[in-house]
Structure 1
């Protein structure tokens, strides 16, 4: 396996991987991907902008990529992708390692966003030493959108949040039951304060 910084020679490989990344992501979300020409143009834009883009080659074949951008004084992993037939070989880990080595030349931290539905991605990043910090995404639909249906209910310190349902979700039965109960709790008028009281009492009883 070889990890290389992108060059003009490898731009077409990056474009194909970039398209595959979004095709897989949109499939999980149940959404249709954009036209391939849009993704090809985005890939060229990021290359010309001089984002940190590394490609992995296995047996001479493009196997995956990682793209890191610099914004607001910090470095962010924007996408990481390994083609399905190359997974399980440590390629993702090596891509992250190479990106970290490059970022360390300018900064001591590397950030990323992970969707809460993507349990495989969360587990992957945690194995590499990444931890959850403080970002919550908010949205207000100014007109009706497909977001009006297909959510799970979750919470953070008693605040109600919604996350999209994905195809092929990997929630455990206990996690699914918790989200079902939580949704019913809030639908029946439960409040943040009531939720916190219930959880605190349950934890206190367990700790006794």
Structure 2
């Protein structure tokens, strides 16, 4: 498995994976969607033009997964991290995440910040194995038009729709 840095020329070949990531994210909100490869390609180009490094794990010409590192001053956020189902539990996410941590260290930081849906248990479990256990912030918004929260989440004494 090779780890490569993505350039704009590779955006069209990475776009289907990014489109799948978006569909997966929407599923956490109980929204069914179809992959939008054109929008995904545009998103990749926007990230690259903003100076966000993107790395992909590649095996035999197939992208197994990717990570987008959002760099703001000296802070590094994992903006996206995604691994194809058939490559999961093979160390791909670890390789990608370690690359994000390497980017953070190059900026003088010893942590990567992660936004995670509360019901994305797989990602929460993954982050815990890497020592990420501090809840830093919560994002609070109004419901989208027509959105019907599926559950509630408790944080301390507070209850939020999710």
TM-score under structure 2 normalisation? 0.87
1:127 and 2:126 correspond? no
Partner of 2:10: 10
Partner of 1:26: 26
Unmatched segments (≥5 aa) in structure 2 = none
Moved over 6 A (4+): none
Deviations 1:158-184 (A, max 9, x none): 222122xxxxxxxxxxxxxxxxxxxxx
Bigger-Rg structure (1/2): 1
Hey, which of these two has a bigger chunk of helix by percent?
1
Partner of 2:49: 48
Distance 1:134 1:100, change over 3 A: closer
Partner of 1:162: 161
Partner of 1:166: none
SS of 1:22's equivalent in the other structure is: helix
d(CA) in 1 for partners of 2:49, 2:102: 21
Cα RMSD after superposing both structures: 2.0
d(CA) in 2 for partners of 1:133, 1:72: 21
SS of 2:151's equivalent in the other structure is: strand
Distance 1:160 1:58, change over 3 A: same
Paired residues, number: 160
Partner of 2:95: 94
Partner of 1:116: 118
Shift of 1:53: 0.7
Unmatched segments (≥5 aa) in structure 1 = 164-208
d(CA) in 2 for partners of 1:30, 1:140: 16
TM-score under structure 1 normalisation? 0.69
Shift of 1:116: 0.8
Shift of 1:10: 2.4
